[in-house]
A = this chain, B = another copy of it.
Amino acid sequence: MHALVIHAPHDLRIEETPTPEIGPQQLLVRVRSGGICGSDLHYFLHGGFGTVRIREPMILGHEVSGVVQEAGSGVDDILPGTRIAISPSRPCGSCQYCQQGLQNHCLDMRYYGSAMRTPHVQGAFRQQIVIDRSQAHEVSSSLSDGEAAMAEPLSVGLHAARRAGALLGRRVLVTGCGPIGALIVAAARRAGAATIVGTDVGELALSSALQMGADEVINVAENPDGLSRFTANKGSFDVLFEASGNERALRGALDAVRPRGVIVQVGLGGEMTLPVNMFVAKEFDFRGAFRFHEEFAVAVELLNKGLIDVKPLISATFPYTEATNAFELAADRSRAMKVLVSFE
Contact = CB atoms under 8 A, between A and B. Distances in A.
A191 B192 contact: yes
A302 interface: yes
A267 B281 CA distance: 10
Given A191-B191, A287-B285, A298 B259 contact: no
A103 B101 CA distance: 10
Contacts of A309: none
B190 A168 contact: yes
A301 interface: yes
B169 A158 contact: yes
10 contacts: A105-B260, A158-B168, A162-B169, A166-B191, A192-B307, A269-B276, A281-B290, A283-B290, A285-B285, A285-B286
B283 A288 contact: yes
Nearest to A161: B168
Given A95-B233, A107-B234, A284-B286, 20 more contacts: A93-B99, A97-B259, A101-B101, A105-B234, A158-B168, A158-B169, A162-B166, A168-B187, A169-B298, A169-B301, A169-B302, A265-B276, A266-B280, A267-B280, A268-B280, A271-B276, A272-B273, A273-B274, A281-B288, A285-B287
Question: Of residues A99, A167, A234, A273, which shows the largest number of chain B Cβ atoms within 10 Å of its Cβ?
Answer: A99
Chain A interface bracket (under 10, 10 to 19, 20 to 34, 35 or more)? 35 or more
Interface in A288-339: 288-290, 294-295, 297-298, 301-302, 305, 307
Contacts of A215: 305
B98 A99 contact: yes
A163 B105 contact: no
B286 A280 contact: no
Contacts of A195: 301
Nearest to A116: B281
A7 to B, nearest CB: 26
Chain A to chain B: the 3 pairs with minimum beta-carbon distance, closest first:
A169-B298, A105-B259, A101-B101
B194 A301 contact: yes
A121 B99 CA distance: 23
Nearest to A284: B288
B279 A288 contact: yes
A62 B301 CA distance: 39
A45 interface: no
A121 B204 CA distance: 50
Given A100-B101, A167-B166, A275-B270, A280 B265 contact: yes
Given A162-B166, A259-B102, A277 B270 contact: yes
Interface string A84-104: 000000000111111111111
A18 interface: no
A94 B96 contact: no
A282 B192 CA distance: 26
Contacts of A162: 166, 168-169
Q: Looking at A102, A267, A276, which has the most chain B CB atoms within 10 Å of its CB?
A: A276
A277 B50 contact: yes
A20 interface: no
Contacts of A286: 279, 284-287
A129 B34 CA distance: 54
A276 B307 CA distance: 33
Contacts of A287: 283-286
